Structure 1
Amino acid sequence: MPEAHLCEVEDLMSQAEALTGIRRHIHQHPELAYEERATASLVSDLLSQWGYDVATAIGGTGVVASLKAGNSGRSIGIRADMDALPIQEATGLPYASTVSGVMHACGHDGHTTILLGAAQYLATHRRFDGTLRLYFQPAEEAGVNSGAERMIAEGLFQRFHCDAVFGLHNHPGQPSGRFLFRSGPFMASGDKVTITVHGKGSHAARPHLSVDPVVVASSIVMSLQTIVARNVDPGAPAVVTVGVLQAGTANNVIPASARLELSVRAFDLQVRELLRTRIEALANAQAESYGATVEIDYVLGYPVVINSEAETAFAIEVARELVGSANVDASFEPVMASEDFAFMLQQRPGCFLRLGNGIGQGMGEGGCMVHNPRYDFNDATLPIGAAFWARLVERYLPVA
């Protein structure tokens, strides 16, 4: 009996133009976290047309599609995110965002389209034995109370079971279609810290009557730089970035308060806890030394993305079959960005991978970094990503 055909990239090339059209339509009509109603409607309508059992309003605006073939009790889940960012697009492209101040600056339009391409192919050919779950998730960019958290809290994996779960994110700066993997910790935890310094305001000409929160805040900023340099093991990556420092409204007034906002990232739970301990201790100590006080709002965001060994090895094998070993990096460097797919990996074994978006520096070349007003997803990657998901399903749920 001849060996069953497994999906190849060439099998998706006939869909390339249609996929590009879908992706650009989504790009033109971006929606922020938990507002992805039109995107969810487009997704659910297409999946229903292709024969999927579709559930909507999962975790707010999420969509879950299920398709069973054969008699196997095995199941696989694949996730794509749908939300955009509050950024004014500056690409000038003919399919640029039509929504002022909102754009797909992270490629979620591409991720959604890739999974739709795989969904159509798998529904048409049904060369798998088991249950396929497709999780179209809202609000990945939320930072807290994200789409993954909310879907899980609403019983995602109990209602729509899968044995393993997979997801991907595009990666500018790597060749289009190159697959990037890493077993174990792959993407960092991401926490947000707000430090409010309370001092005593005064006239700028009478600083001796004040407790200057600007000076206190500046001292805190400088002391925070010692944490990674002097408290964290040099072999353990960590980041403490002060992204906001705000105080005052006039040059001749010493304000009563100042505010810092920090982004804190790590790959290890103990390092994550150490960073919190030191940030809180240093902020309080610096404030006290000047006679000020601080309020600290420490918000734990996304945990570390930890890929399970067996599922990562399996996904690497599938990628090598599809595009060749030369186009697969099986031990890519850890990525300091965070990702709420980490919550799904806490519930199920699985793998989150990166897919090259291009190495050019200009628009249309895929090299512009995400969260940039000039970013655009590289449409050449669509059939490659879709073929990977389709083949992954066919290999994970093989027909006997």
Structure 2
Amino acid sequence: MQSVTPSLLREWRHEFHRQPETAFEEHRTSARIVEILADAGIEMETGLGGGTGIVAWVDGRESGERAIGLRADIDALDVPEANEFGHVSQNPGKMHACGHDGHTTMLLGAACTLAREPDFAGRVYFIFQPAEENEGGGRVMVEEGLFDRFPMEAVYGVHNWPGMAVGEAAVHDTAVMAAFDVFRLTLSGHGCHAAMPHLGKDVVLAACQLVNQLQGIVSRETPAHQTAVLSVTQFHAGDAYNVMPEKVELCGTLRCFDPALRDHLEARFRRAIEATAMFHDLEASVDYQSRYPATFNTPSCAHHCAEVLDSLPDIRRVHRDLPPSMASEDFAFMLQQRPGAYIWLGNGVDSASLHNPHYDFNDELSPIGVAYWTALVRSLLGDS
């Protein structure tokens, strides 16, 4: 069995980065993961999570009934890469702009290390999950019976964090990432010549007012001690200088942490659209989808993760007071079913942000991630 070294981790990570694949299409990525696991003599089941997910497992030297799960996401994004290094994406329009190539590498490194030195009791499951970006591969794996087929008492996840120095980490006691909803709404009116707007029903004017009015739902109806954000990210209307269009389409996202607030904001969002459409004598249609729940750590699990991180020689600081992120994570579906914790590991203060075409996972982080995973397993499933 090959020893896991920083150079091997770098080799794996660059290979994954060159061949990014997006949600539920990670066939090459999945096949390479299977090859590495098989070379290490690790048992697994494939074809999960819509077809490209994998769950592998390693048993400790000592028998034991306890089991935990470690999860990594394996998908990339529909983002054209702007980097020029040797391992740049070979798939046009797609790139690992969120570091899932690194997450996969770290979990593979941990699996191979623990297979070589299974100095723990019980079983560790290694969950390689597809389609984290927008499509909810974590939800699919849970619905397929992940925790029934692979019984585990707790599940843990990691994400790299740009802007935080390599060698630093962040652990939240409870809220980590926000719930994630998306919307697509259409206002339909009556087109006309732009020189004679009184002959039509102006959907552009209505949509502009609506974008401003929707912000009041958050700024004036969300309690100051709670966090929420509503962002309109797309505005599509018209294709001529002198024509008032028939329709306008707005798209965006709404995020918060509290479930009751989430329901309230959706209801108010819908009423605001109805009211605006009525005032401007327009027709409105809304496609509102609740995607991911908020990601909440189990406090006791988070505390244990922080202790493990504090014990690692390459971790200089563990932040316990950083605010949660308004970004979202489908690991939340797993944490709804089992206790666990999701932590951040610094990707470097100069790292480009997540989902940026200049982003790249920091290879200095891979050995730290492997060390964290293996130390966590040995601390939770120590020899009996």
Same fold (TM over 0.5): yes
When residues 325 and 43 of structure 1 are mapped into structure 2, their CA distance, relative to the original with a 3 A threshold, is closer
Whether contact under 8 Å (2:170, 2:319) holds in the other structure is yes
- Out of 219, 232, 256, the position equivalent to 1:229 is 219
TM-score if structure 2 supplies the norm length?
A: 0.97
- Does the Cα contact within 8 Å between 1:183 and 1:331 map onto a contact in 2? no
Question: Contact conserved, 1:319 with 1:328, CA < 8 A, in 2?
Answer: yes
Confirm whether residue 388 of structure 1 aligns to residue 360 of structure 2.
no
1:259 Cα offset (Å) = 0.4
User: 8 Å contact 1:51–1:67 — kept in the other structure?
Assistant: no
Which residue of structure 2 lines up, in the alignment, with residue 86 of structure 1?
78
Q: Does 1:47 align with 2:31?
A: no
> Are the counterparts in 2 of residues 304 and 338 from structure 1 also a CA contact under 8 Å?
yes
The 2-side partners of 1:274 and 1:325 are apart by 41
- 1:363 is aligned to none
Written as runs of structure 1 = structure 2, the 5 A alignment for 1:191-270 is: 191-270=181-260
Structure 2 contact 167–314 (Cα < 8 Å) conserved: no
- Map of 2:24 onto structure 1: 34
CA distance in 2, matches of 1:372, 1:310: 34
1:326 is displaced (CA, Å) by 4.4
Provide the residue aligned with 1:167 in structure 2. 157
- Is 1:377 the equivalent of 2:361? yes
Greater mean deviation of Cα atoms: 45-54 or 87-96: 45-54
Question: Unaligned regions of 5+ residues in structure 2, if any?
Answer: none
CA distance in 1, matches of 2:123, 2:35: 20
- Counterpart CA distance in 1 for 2:313 and 2:168 is 8
Is the Cα contact below 8 Å between 2:71 and 2:156 reproduced in 1?
A: yes
Length-normalised TM-score, structure 1 = 0.93
Q: Distance in 1 between matches of 2:312 and 2:166?
A: 14
User: Tell me, what secondary structure is at the counterpart of 1:343?
Assistant: helix
Instruction: Provide the C-alpha distance between the structure 2 equivalents of 1:200 and 1:14, rounded to a whole number of angstroms.
Output: 65
Partner Cα separation in structure 2 for residue 344 and residue 389 of structure 1: 18
- Aligned match of 1:16 in 6, 27, 50? 6
Partner of 2:57: 66
Structure 1 gaps, min length 5: 1-11, 361-366
Q: Tell me how far 1:248 sits from its aligned partner.
A: 0.5
383 and 136 in structure 1: CA distance in 2 versus 1, 3 angstrom threshold: same
SS of aligned partner of 1:38 = helix
Return the alpha-carbon distance in structure 1 between the equivalents of residues 155 and 234 of structure 2.
Answer: 36
Q: Is the 8 A contact 1:224 1:282 kept in 2?
A: yes
1:36-80 Cα offsets, whole Å, 9 max, x none, are 111111111111221221111101210110111221100010000
Deviation at 1:270, TM superposition (A): 1.5
Equivalent residue in structure 1 for 2:312, among 322, 325, 336: 322
2:183 and 2:253 in contact (8 A); partners too: yes
Partner of 1:177: 167
**Residue 124 of structure 1, aligned match among 109, 116, 136:** 116
1:98-123 CA-partner distances (Å, limit 9, x unpaired): 11101000000000000011111100
Q: How many residues align?
A: 381
